Amino acid sequence: MGSGESHSIARHAVPHDARGDVGLMIRLDVTLTELHQLQDRIRRFDIVRDDYPIFGACVDKLVDSATARHERMLKKIVTDNAGRSEPLPGPVIDIDARVVVAENTPSTSTPPTSSEAAVSNSPAAPPPTGASIGASEVPPAPSEPKTPKGHGRNGADAFTHAKHHFHKLAAGIIGVLCAVCGVGRMSRYREKIIIRVIGQPLFGAELHHHEQARCRNCGKILRADGPPDLCEGLGSDYIRYDWSACAMLIVMHYFAGSPFKRLESLQAGWGIPMPDANQWQIADGSDDRLLPLYRALERHAIQQATNFRIDDTGSMVIALRKQISEEIAALRLLGKPTKDVRTGINATGSYWETPSGPIILFHTGRHHAGEMVDRLLRYRLVSSPKLVKCTDGASKNFDHTHGAKLVESTCNAHAFLKFRAVKDKHPTEYAEAGRIYKQVFDNDDAARALGLTSIDRMNYHRQHSRPLMEALKKMCEAKISSRLVEPNAALWEPLTFVINQYPRLVLFCEVPDVPLDTNLVEQVLIMAVRYLSGSFNYHTEDGAVVGDHAMSLIGTARANGVEPVGYLAECLRCHEDLAKRPHHYLPWVYRERMKNGSAAREAARDPPGEGAGHEPEMVRSG
């Protein structure tokens, strides 16, 4: 223990009042027992004279560390602004709050106030010319359209899988005189739709009773035939789980986060048993049949994606946790350090944007997002264009073996959240960052509303958003350069985050297809968080793999506007064909096939007749 400098004198050799000249020469020879005794005295407020050298050394270390951090940041600001013609922003203020004129600042200048700095950095200034795109080359931002007022209810079209019952008027109604006025004749009018929502168990059951006959002589048994699809699905010759039940189980367990035991108890209350052991066999067997689809999605994402977002969240695999504990125990037994043992278990989620549609992938294990990127990029062709990656600012996410295949950007939402974390103590800086980022994200919404291509979107941001981001950086540099913020202050982290990550934060103004944030993958990770909070853990690595595959398929289906239960049921029902041509069952292909099939069924359906009675007739189900 000691300060940042080397010490050469024992702590009892130099009294506290004589430390002024040799304070940085003190060497602290303190045992752990003495430190524990000091800790006890601090708690009892019983400090003795011999304790002060230790306190002084601790303070020296903190001062040296903070000074070094501040000097490093100032050097970075000077380096980043080496080609800038104007002086560094803000005056330099020492710890006594005295204004010191910077060397490159005219002596007649006065330090700008925070309001003046905000005005000077205002994005309302004209956009840069030259490299920036001209105003005539980019369409103006559209005015906000007025949203029509609605009733706030789901329309009939929202019930896509509802059964449709058509009730016809009695014969002789259309064309006759009105019974009320006796003048007008009854003509066909728009139909009235009443939506009826029916409660039912998650899983239904059918008992098929087959009459049998047995020969008294040879024992031959004949059984009555049943429906041709009776034996489809998973299970035994006694109980079969239809593919629709398999799909429902996967969605309820891995998306809704309902543990197998909870589903068993719930179904028992409805009188339809679903033992938890059987549920795992269904999930495992379904994963075997859906594996070609997952591989096709993963391959399509790696080869066809233009950009992706990736992030981690904590997970738990009991087998891995046991393995980690055994590794630590073995190292301790050998007397070796355990700091290099990987103790984290993460669920890594990635959101890939491809020309066909988004793809979501999950991977759970002893890794972090940066390592997972390298595993996936091994299969991306070297000849493919560089892939844009967006993640948070953690250094571990930017250390890649295959970094040459990437264009790396940082999430702007994370930058703003760091300001929001200190808004109570620094409301002015939080308000300024919020104002800037609101306009930047509004610009992105405007570019999306205009239907701009990726290059036009980049140019649009280059003209409208780059001045905003430069204003944010200038504000951060002014706070650091003027020494208004100390390295141990709460505001230090958001300011230095913007300065350090600035080239990656503004990459959306330089490279096409760069997302502003990682919000989409953060939303996707809710599935893994919900599963962990509901089921608490995976038991084995195989269980984690099954969960990763199921969440990937469900998340990708939802991201492409496909209802996951029906989609997975169709893929399981056609699993033999899926193994031969999995590309035919990708979500966007399935979606178009369903649309074409619905249109064909709608065209084939005859309009209701005029002479039927009032009995309901079920025509079709969605």
For the cut 90, the answer to whether the pLDDT of residue 416 exceeds it is: yes
For the cut 50, the answer to whether the pLDDT of residue 566 exceeds it is: yes
> Among candidates 323, 335, 279, 165, which has minimal Cα distance to 535?
279
Looking at the domain assignment, is residue 396 inside a domain? Answer: no
Q: Are residues 98 and 54 in the same domain?
A: no
Average pLDDT over residues 445-470: 94
Q: Tell me the per-residue pLDDT of 228-237, one tens digit each, with 9 for 90 and over.
A: 888 889 988 8
Q: Are residues 492 and 420 in the same domain?
A: yes
For residue 450, the 8-state DSSP code is T
Phi and psi of 460, rounded to 5°? -65, -45
Q: Are residues 51 and 98 in the same domain?
A: no
Using DSSP, state whether 360 is helix, strand or coil: strand
Q: Tell me the per-residue pLDDT of 288-341, one tens digit each, with 9 for 90 and over.
A: 999 999 999 999 999 999 999 999 999 999 999 999 999 999 999 999 998 889
For the cut 50, the answer to whether the pLDDT of residue 52 exceeds it is: yes
- State pTM to two decimals: 0.75
Looking at the domain assignment, is residue 13 inside a domain? Answer: yes
Looking at the domain assignment, is residue 1 inside a domain? Answer: yes
Residue where a domain stops, chosen among 489, 510, 531: 510
Q: Are residues 419 and 500 in the same domain?
A: yes
What six digits make up the tokens of 518?
Answer: 């990682």
> Among candidates 167, 265, 31, which has minimal Cα distance to 608?
167
Residue where a domain stops, chosen among 510, 541, 573: 510
Looking at the domain assignment, is residue 616 inside a domain? Answer: no
Looking at the domain assignment, is residue 116 inside a domain? Answer: yes
pLDDT at 21 (0 to 100) = 40
Average pLDDT over residues 128-134: 40
> Among candidates 411, 579, 509, 405, which has minimal Cα distance to 123?
509
Higher-pLDDT residue of 157, 579: 579
For the cut 90, the answer to whether the pLDDT of residue 393 exceeds it is: no
pLDDT at 10 (0 to 100) = 39
The domain tally of the chain equals 2
pLDDT band at 259; cut points 50, 70, 90: very high
Instruction: Identify the sign of the CA torsion 313, 317, 320, 326.
Output: positive
Q: Are residues 59 and 86 in the same domain?
A: no
pLDDT at 159 (0 to 100) = 82
Q: Are residues 41 and 87 in the same domain?
A: no
Q: Are residues 438 and 496 in the same domain?
A: yes
Phi and psi of 115, rounded to 5°? -70, -40
Burial of 589 (0-12, 13-18, 19+ CB in 10 A): middle
Length of the chain: 622
Q: Are residues 450 and 506 in the same domain?
A: yes
Looking at the domain assignment, is residue 193 inside a domain? Answer: no
Phi and psi of 467, rounded to 5°? -60, -35
pLDDT band at 616; cut points 50, 70, 90: very low
Structural domain containing residue 59:
1-64
pLDDT band at 389; cut points 50, 70, 90: very high
Q: Are residues 124 and 54 in the same domain?
A: no
Looking at the domain assignment, is residue 344 inside a domain? Answer: no
Average pLDDT over residues 420-427: 92
Q: Are residues 91 and 46 in the same domain?
A: no
Residue where a domain stops, chosen among 462, 483, 510: 510
pLDDT band at 61; cut points 50, 70, 90: confident
pLDDT band at 71; cut points 50, 70, 90: confident
Q: Are residues 46 and 98 in the same domain?
A: no
Q: Are residues 55 and 131 in the same domain?
A: no
Q: Tell me the per-residue pLDDT of 181-209, one tens digit each, with 9 for 90 and over.
A: 888 999 989 888 888 888 888 888 888 88
CA distance 462 to 190: 51
Q: Tell me the per-residue pLDDT of 79-124, one tens digit each, with 9 for 90 and over.
A: 877 766 555 555 544 444 333 334 444 433 334 443 344 334 444 4
Looking at the domain assignment, is residue 19 inside a domain? Answer: yes
How many Cβ atoms are within 10 Å of 165's Cβ, its own excluded? Answer: 13
Helix axes 454-464, 427-449, angle to 10 degrees: 140
| 70 Cα distance to chain centroid | 33
Percent of all residues in the chain with a pLDDT value above 70, rounded to a whole number = 80
In angstroms, the Cα distances linking 108 to 101, 111, 125, 462, 530 are 9, 10, 25, 35, 61
pLDDT band at 432; cut points 50, 70, 90: very high
